[in-house]
Amino acid sequence: MVTRIGLIRHGETFWNRMGRWQGHAAVPLNEEGMQQARLLADYLLQNSHPISAIYSSDLKRASDTAQMLADRLKKPLTLDARLREIDVGEWQGLTGDEIRAWDGKRFEQVQRDPFGTQRPGGESLNQVAERAIAFLRELVQRHTEGYVLVVSHGGTIRTILQRLAVVGEGRIWVDNTSITLLRYQHAEDRWLLDAFNVLEHLGTRRIVPGSDG
């Protein structure tokens, strides 16, 4: 038995453009983000394996992306808070430069140990990994075969990939509405990475990276 999972980062927001850390903020998609989601939905309709279901973070930028996919693909959508972006606590809404200027010591601690260090008033990546991997473990038992879409956030997707050891520990970038394909082999209890950060649906529309989230 094999379960295939398409991890999708939500469409672009104005805070992405501005480089602001979004965390759990209810930031909506901007017009570019909505267009990215429409292009992705059309691409999946034409090029995807049959999709069993769609799951999403309940944060607005992810759930709105997922709803556009669900409407176009005519598939059920389930929201799950375990797919949320990392809670950045007191840093929410700030840029990296603003955080360094205001809270440089704690920022350096997080840079040295991002998995073990909680953001002030927020989470550590270990906590994000714990909830996100628990979700995936339940998902592959619910969908023992087939292809499932999971709409989440840049930091959460990176954390999943690193915790599953399908990518290295260095910094990797996940673009808005990119598709990353995971494959879970039930007999071996093994995770494999089939594709990373696929952007065929955007063509030349890819923008310069902004903030995560």
Report, as residue numbers or ranges, the catalytic residues: 10, 85
What's the CA gap between 176 and 97, in Å, rounded? 22
What's the CA gap between 79 and 202, in Å, rounded? 25
Q: 213 with 65: CB under 8 angstroms?
A: no
Task: State which amino acid sits at residue 188.
Answer: E
What's the CA gap between 175 and 205, in Å, rounded? 11
Instruction: Sheet with 77-79: list strands edge to edge.
Output: 77-79, 51-56, 146-152, 2-9, 179-185, 190-198
Strand positions, DSSP E, the chain = 2-9, 51-56, 77-79, 146-152, 179-185, 190-198
Both tokens assigned to 96: 């990296």
105-122 in b/e form (b: 16+ CB < 10 A) is: ebbebbeeebeebbbeeb
Residue 36: name the closest of 60, 4, 58, 69 by CA: 69
